[in-house]
Structure 1
Amino acid sequence: MTTTATTTPTVLTIETSSLGDRSYLVHDGQVALVIDPQRDIDRVLALARQEGVRVTHVFETHIHNDYVTGGYALARETGAAYHVNADDDVSFDRVPVRDGDVVEVSDILRLRAVHTPGHTFTHLSYALEGDHPYVFTGGSLLFGSTGRPDLLGEEHTEELARLQHRSAHRLAGELPEAAQVMPTHGFGSFCSATQTEGDASTIGKEQEKNPALLLTVEEFVRQTLDGLDLYPAYYARMQPANVAGPDAPRLDPPGRADKDELRRRIEAGDWVVDLRTRTAFSAGHLPGSFSFGLDGQFSTWLGWMLPAGVTVTLLAGSAEDVAEAQRELSRIGVDDLAGAATGGPADWTAGEPATLPLATFADLAQVRHHRPVSVLDVRNPKEHADGHLEGAVNVPLGQLVDRLDEVPEGEVWVHCASGYRATIGASVLQAAGRDVVAVDDSFEENAGSAGVPLVEAPEEG
């Protein structure tokens, strides 16, 4: 496919909804640049082929904390120039870029680097200048929010929050109100300081709604620090992987695991992960397996909870689901799967499948009238503090494996905000021999009306 150069840039989004991130391919009809590519670069290459363009430049806004970058591998595959902040201490050759540098990719693709520290100290945004302005803000200015400032350690958090406020004001001051804001994070990513708003925005719209542009620096810092919650433990492994120059993932199908192999893996303490929906898992599953449905933030939670050195075997209804899970795990550096099996519980165990009871908050209210049960809230601490069931024990899901001894004895009802995390937590407890029920229900919509006593968050002021 041959195309001709255009006078208007084409900006295409490559969504990675499982991690809450976006990458971008920008082209003029002939050549293209890529911003913050995910590790599975075949998606980028396929999109470039579809558009009939050649990737000549790759840009990183920062050394990412929530995924393994595909920038290094993409640049090597395409021969593109790889632009990384000159002050980032990386172990590979790159084209160093600094604040104010302008990279002329083509006549209409002219990118200016803007130093926007806050998410990291060396963070860069890239302004696409011309009649159709865009700014690729990475983890700086998000939709109604900003990137979180605490990923480099508690000792840097307040300083980075102050820098984030200053960076947001710099972008708003230097760019036209019509400039399209194109962040990398904020669509469910734990790299966002708070929940983002909407699916598109401009500098002008951010000036109307973004706390970083509406609050004083002291107000912004206090609000940001008060709102920070836990983030995935695997983030600690991403920065070292990214400064080393990661290769593209290996996505060959894992070996097949039969019933005997699955039993041996569970007995050895390895993780056998069921990718089906929680409803399917509840109805019947391999005893000792864990529920991490592909219909939720599968890789985030598995990566967060997986103990170091423990191998993973996948169970799914189809080979396509195994391939999707393998791709997702590769994005966070989990490459070496021990095996996989498809089908259903009858294909995975010679014995009787296990079941996991699912219930509602109304069921919990009723059962408490008949017998004593404990309640485990696996939401994160800020969620719990904003309102929780009276008497509930809070052990965040990401920490559950290391804090099993804090779970009350006897029958335990596990809940979260909607049911996804609750089922993961309940499956972990069940595999450990506990008597559990997973609450598959909306906390916000139904907990209060179900008749279960609530403890509300104290009013401010």
Structure 2
Amino acid sequence: LLFDQNNKQHSIFTGDTLFLGDVGIPDVAQRYKGLSKQDLASLLYDSINMKIKPLDDTITVYPGHGAGSACGKSMMKETVDLLSNQKVVNYSLNGKLNKDEFVQELTQNLPDPPPYFPSNVKLNQEGYSDLDDILKKSLKKIDPINFKELMSDDSIVLLDTRKTDQFVKCHLKDSIYIGLDGRFAPWVGEILKDINTPIVFICELNREREVITRLSRIGFDNCLGYISLDNSTNLELYHETNSLESIDPKIFIKNNSNSKILDVRTKSEYNNGSFKNAINIPLNKIDSSLSYPKDKKLQLFCAGGYRSVIACSILLKNGYTNLVNVEKGYSGIKKLIS
């Protein structure tokens, strides 16, 4: 809780306790000292209603996470709000639920924790490397000769962090795309899973430190080096290159009858509306749930075109050869069919 120069309540940083429109979910990665998720939800209710609710309505709430985080179920897209508004819209504060009802609401249909969460819990408990040491170890530019030697090891993941359109146009064969300009770190955790995964990454020039820093925030500290690209860099010097067919929603709507269509958004997004005949396989399940002839045409979309390119990169690495990404995703499709 932050006070101003007049000792008046100014703002509160709520971490994983209170989000905008939501609360932190219990039991994300592990049981805590033998307490059940119901016990933890009950403690959370007391913390919010006994410690946060009595605070001044005029203070600003700064939560630790926002929309899309795995730490909550249904967060608002806004990043800050007045406590007065949260006392109206947030089910943990507006008095519509008593403690038992709150516990039931919070603990039903809890999402599975991302695979890397338990490892992060362990790092938080036991300690982790200093970021300066991680940067010193990882800031190693790789030339084409060293790259070919490194990539003879199948355990190394080649991670392309550039903009979506850059990956679509040209990328190194077998690279996994997760762009820095999206939900980068959470998707790295979801897709790669093991924080000890050795990584060689591709990035835009002068974004090397940003990649390493954001990976380190979720415990992925095993970066072996990087390739940074500017307009003069020839990717073909490093390895065989590939491209990805990517089409406008108008073309997709006109030409979708002879292919399978995959919606890689979450189940809840899919249930709220999707394109006819589309099959839902969420991005975090795409690596294990898709069984389809690898030479048959597959058209993929998400909400806006970011997750679908990640999905395409995974399928390309797994040997699928006839993939089409739908640009602008379902938001672009919906504008044309509604």
SS in 1 for 2:48: helix
Q: Distance in 2 between matches of 1:197 and 1:170?
A: 26
Deviation at 1:284, TM superposition (A): 1.0
> Given the alignment, which residue of 323, 328, 332 partners 1:436?
323
The CA RMSD measured in Å over matched residues stands at: 3.0
Say if 2:261 and 2:299, in contact at 8 Å, map to a contact too.
yes
Kindly tell me: are residues 386 and 263 of structure 1, through their superposed partners in 2, closer, same or farther at Cα, counting changes over 3 Å?
A: farther
Q: Amino acid of the residue matched to residue 159 of structure 2?
A: V
> Given the alignment, which residue of 188, 210, 226 partners 1:302?
188
Say if 1:360 and 1:440, in contact at 8 Å, map to a contact too.
yes
SS in 2 for 1:342: strand
> Given the alignment, which residue of 139, 142, 149 partners 1:254?
139
> Given the alignment, which residue of 58, 70, 81 partners 1:201?
81
Q: Amino acid of the residue matched to residue 313 of structure 1?
A: V
Deviation at 1:219, TM superposition (A): 5.1
Deviation at 1:229, TM superposition (A): 3.8
Deviations 1:62-83 (A, max 9, x none): xxxxxxxxxxxxxxxxxxxxxx
- TM-score, scaled to structure 1: 0.62
Say if 2:11 and 2:59, in contact at 8 Å, map to a contact too.
yes
Deviation at 1:425, TM superposition (A): 0.8
> Given the alignment, which residue of 291, 295, 301 partners 1:406?
291
Kindly tell me: are residues 236 and 209 of structure 1, through their superposed partners in 2, closer, same or farther at Cα, counting changes over 3 Å?
A: same
Say if 2:147 and 2:238, in contact at 8 Å, map to a contact too.
no
Say if 1:377 and 1:416, in contact at 8 Å, map to a contact too.
yes
> Given the alignment, which residue of 128, 145, 158 partners 1:272?
158
Q: Amino acid of the residue matched to residue 244 of structure 2?
A: L
Q: Distance in 2 between matches of 1:284 and 1:197?
A: 33
Q: Distance in 2 between matches of 1:162 and 1:363?
A: 52
Deviations 1:233-271 (A, max 9, x none): 211211111111323222125322222443454453221
Deviation at 1:389, TM superposition (A): 3.0
Kindly tell me: are residues 174 and 376 of structure 1, through their superposed partners in 2, closer, same or farther at Cα, counting changes over 3 Å?
A: same
Q: Distance in 1 between matches of 2:291 and 2:38?
A: 32
SS in 1 for 2:324: strand
Q: Amino acid of the residue matched to residue 286 of structure 2?
A: L
Q: Distance in 1 between matches of 2:310 and 2:298?
A: 14
Q: Identify the residue that residue 368 of structure 1 maps to in structure 2.
A: 256
Deviation at 1:223, TM superposition (A): 4.6
Correspondences of 1:166-177 after superposition (within 5 Å): 166-177=46-57
Say yes or no: does 1:313 pair with 2:200.
Answer: yes
Q: Distance in 2 between matches of 1:357 and 1:235?
A: 34
Aligned length: 323
Relative contact order (alpha carbons < 8 A, sep ≥ 6): 1 or 2 greater? 2
Kindly tell me: are residues 152 and 323 of structure 1, through their superposed partners in 2, closer, same or farther at Cα, counting changes over 3 Å?
A: closer
Greater Cα radius of gyration, structure 1 or 2: 1
Q: Distance in 1 between matches of 2:279 and 2:293?
A: 8
Q: Distance in 2 between matches of 1:382 and 1:415?
A: 15
Q: Amino acid of the residue matched to residue 182 of structure 1?
A: Y
Q: Distance in 1 between matches of 2:266 and 2:111?
A: 7
Name stretches of at least 5 consecutive residues in structure 2 with no aligned partner. none
Deviation at 1:138, TM superposition (A): 1.8
Say yes or no: does 1:156 pair with 2:36.
Answer: yes
Q: Amino acid of the residue matched to residue 436 of structure 1?
A: L
Deviations 1:369-413 (A, max 9, x none): 4xx211222222222233333333333222333x06535641111
Say if 2:300 and 2:323, in contact at 8 Å, map to a contact too.
yes
Deviation at 1:418, TM superposition (A): 1.0
Kindly tell me: are residues 238 and 169 of structure 1, through their superposed partners in 2, closer, same or farther at Cα, counting changes over 3 Å?
A: same
Q: Which is worse superposed, 414-423 or 171-180?
A: 171-180
Say yes or no: does 1:346 pair with 2:234.
Answer: yes
Q: Amino acid of the residue matched to residue 366 of structure 1?
A: K
Q: Identify the residue that residue 390 of structure 1 maps to in structure 2.
A: 276
Say if 2:63 and 2:80, in contact at 8 Å, map to a contact too.
no
Task: Determine what percentage of the aligned residue pairs are the same residue.
Answer: 24
Q: Distance in 1 between matches of 2:329 and 2:272?
A: 15
Say if 1:144 and 1:210, in contact at 8 Å, map to a contact too.
yes
Deviation at 1:211, TM superposition (A): 1.4
Q: Identify the residue that residue 127 of structure 2 maps to in structure 1.
A: 245
Q: Identify the residue that residue 18 of structure 2 maps to in structure 1.
A: 141
Q: Identify the residue that residue 117 of structure 2 maps to in structure 1.
A: 235
Q: Amino acid of the residue matched to residue 247 of structure 2?
A: A
Deviations 1:77-102 (A, max 9, x none): xxxxxxxxxxxxxxxxxxxxxxxxxx
Kindly tell me: are residues 383 and 221 of structure 1, through their superposed partners in 2, closer, same or farther at Cα, counting changes over 3 Å?
A: farther
Q: Distance in 2 between matches of 1:311 and 1:348?
A: 22
Deviation at 1:364, TM superposition (A): 2.3
Q: Distance in 2 between matches of 1:449 and 1:347?
A: 36
- TM-score, scaled to structure 2: 0.83
Deviation at 1:282, TM superposition (A): 0.9
Q: Amino acid of the residue matched to residue 440 of structure 1?
A: E
Kindly tell me: are residues 307 and 234 of structure 1, through their superposed partners in 2, closer, same or farther at Cα, counting changes over 3 Å?
A: closer
